[in-house]
Chains A and B, each alone.
Chain A
């Protein structure tokens, strides 16, 4: 079974440019997370979807970040315009809510460098 797939794996952009990340969760998983991980730190939640609904976006910097989850499956995370401080690894994860022993499975991440 395929895991969580993210693309691209690496992205280098100049500040003020837009960038987008894509995530395909594990088939059947109804919950999708976007996390940001700064160097040497733990992942921090940006947004969580249950199906196509964003149920927790309190940590998403809405002035420049946006996200969508089309038809409750794939998701994209966009930054426009990017700032130097956005350099980080962006991780997508998915899980199946409604199952008590559910766990979140993570993709390989997209390493963003803003120069």
Chain B
């Protein structure tokens, strides 16, 4: 069974600082997604990573994928308060026909002014 783990689970950081959220998964996959969820809201898609070495950036967020290490990172540069949210990674296993999207535990990020 696919397991997806994120760390840290909780992250409190000051504005202007940099930090990285890690996502490890237990089975072969070439497709990994990052989502953002604000309190009481649904999930908003941030990044789709589809190959080893894939890197995508949007504003102060940058995501990367290392399929050999089964690891994805979400890097936050010069954090601002608006980035406070819970971030989830989600993985689709490399089994043809299996489109089950499995989510990680989530990282609750709080940016302190």
Contacts and interface: CB of A to CB of B under 8 A. Distances in A.
B101 A104 contact: yes
Interface string B1-40: 0001000000000000000000000000000010100000
Interface residues of B, number: 21
Nearest to A6: B42
A109 B44 CA distance: 12
Q: How large is the interface on A (under 10, 10 to 19, 20 to 34, 35 or more residues)?
A: 20 to 34
B48 A56 contact: no
Contacts of A44: 103
B106 A101 contact: no
A77 to B, nearest CB: 16
A103 interface: yes
A50 B98 CA distance: 11
Contacts of A42: 4, 88, 90, 103-106
B50 A100 contact: yes
Nearest to B9: A40
B45 A105 contact: yes
Residue from B4, B90, B99 having most chain A Cβ neighbours under 10 A: B99
A2 B90 CA distance: 24
Contact of B100 (A41, A56, A91, A108): A56
A43 interface: yes
Nearest to A3: B42
Nearest to B30: A100
Interface in B38-94: 41-45, 48, 50, 88, 90
Contacts of A41: 105-106
B44 to A, nearest CB: 8
Contacts of B90: 42, 104
A95 B42 contact: no
A109 B41 CA distance: 8
A108 B40 CA distance: 9
Given A41-B106, A48-B99, 9 more contacts: A44-B103, A45-B100, A50-B99, A95-B99, A103-B48, A104-B33, A105-B45, A108-B41, A108-B42
